[in-house]
Amino acid sequence: MIVSDLSTAGVSRRLGKGQLFLRTGPFISRIQTSIASIQSGIALLYAGFPVYDDAPFADFHVALERPPNLRRWFRPQVTFKFDGWAPFKPLPLNQAFAMFEWGMNWCVVNHAHRYLVLHAAVVERNGCAMIMPAPPGSGKSTLCAALVSSGWRLLSDELAVISLATAGLVPLPRPVGLKNQSIHVIHQRYPDATIGKAAHDTTKGTVAHMQPPAESIARQQEEARPAWVLFPKYTPGHALELQRYSKAQSLLKLVENAFNFTVLGKQAFDCLGQVIDDSDCFTLEYSSLDEAVSQLNALEIPAPCA
Binding interface with another protein (CB under 8 A): 26, 28, 56-59, 61, 83-85, 111-114, 260, 262-265
For residue 60, the minimal CB distance to another protein (Å) is 10
Nearest to 162 by CA among 219, 113, 110, 102: 113
Q: Enumerate the H helices of 18-82 as residue ranges.
A: 36-45, 71-74
Nearer to another protein, 110 or 202 (CB): 110
List strands edge to edge, sheet with 205-210.
176-179, 205-210, 199-202
Q: Strand 205-210 relative to strand 176-179: parallel, antiparallel, unpaired? A: antiparallel
For residue 173, the minimal CB distance to another protein (Å) is 18
- Please provide residue 237's backbone torsions phi and psi, each rounded to the nearest 5 degrees: 80, -5
For residue 110, the minimal CB distance to another protein (Å) is 9
- Please provide residue 153's backbone torsions phi and psi, each rounded to the nearest 5 degrees: -90, 140
d(CA 226, CA 33): 37
Angle, in degrees to the nearest 10, between helices 140-148 and 181-189: 20
For residue 114, the minimal CB distance to another protein (Å) is 4
Nearer to another protein, 73 or 85 (CB): 85
Nearer to another protein, 60 or 97 (CB): 60
For residue 254, the minimal CB distance to another protein (Å) is 18
- Kindly state the helix (H) or strand (E) to which residue 84 belongs, with its residue range: none
Nearer to another protein, 66 or 113 (CB): 113
* CB of 99 closer than 8 Å to CB of 64: yes
Nearer to another protein, 49 or 231 (CB): 49
User: Exposed (0-12), middle (13-18) or buried (19+): which is 237, by Cβ within 10 Å?
Assistant: exposed
Nearer to another protein, 56 or 68 (CB): 56
For residue 122, the minimal CB distance to another protein (Å) is 19
